[in-house]
């Protein structure tokens, strides 16, 4: 048994105070980034779909609320001004797609009206849905 004190040996220490600061800043960064990532300012209850696709091309978002208010890229537009507003986006991109967000309580005639405008302007249209819960 060696009962002598060991002098001159270095002891190993781990300083974790810097790790706490780094973790705090990472947490703060992800909290702020997660609040910015939601592009939908207009709250809608979307219909559910079992098959869904994401759109990665140049898109315009058109939203129709249950009060029949029309929004084009978060700007409110009257029904009469919907076609000229969408036509103004046509020269900005070669492949343009409209992503249509419609509240599930809106009548199908109002949805078809937006589809007709997109067809008239020769713009692709995709209806946004939420995934079906199992």
CATH of domain 48-131: 3.30.420
When pLDDT is averaged across residues 98-124 and rounded to a whole number, the result is 90
pLDDT at residue number 94: 75
For tokens 């967000």, the residue is: 101
For tokens 């005639």, the residue is: 109
- The domain locations on the chain are 48-131
How far CA 97 is from CA of 64, 90, 121, 125, 132, in Å, comes to: 16, 10, 11, 6, 24
Q: Is the pLDDT of residue 87 over 50?
A: yes
| pTM recorded for the entire structure | 0.57
For 25-71, what is each residue's pLDDT tens digit?
899 988 887 766 655 556 667 777 776 665 445 888 999 999 999 99
The H or E element containing residue 119 is: helix 108-120
């Amino acid at each position: 048994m060696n009962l002598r004190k060991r002098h001159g040996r270095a002891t190993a220490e781990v300083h974790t105070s810097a790790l706490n600061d780094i973790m705090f800043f990472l947490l703060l960064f992800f909290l702020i980034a997660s609040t910015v990532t939601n592009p939908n300012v207009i709250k809608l209850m979307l219909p559910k779909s079992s098959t869904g696709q994401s759109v990665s091309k140049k898109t315009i978002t058109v939203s129709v609320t249950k009060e029949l208010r029309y929004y084009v890229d978060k700007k409110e537009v009257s029904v009469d001004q919907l076609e000229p507003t969408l036509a103004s986006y046509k020269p900005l991109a070669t492949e343009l797609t409209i992503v249509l967000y419609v509240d599930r309580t809106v009548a199908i005639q109002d949805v078809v009206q937006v589809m007709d405008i997109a067809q008239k302007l020769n713009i692709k249209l995709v209806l946004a849905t939420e995934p079906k819960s199992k």
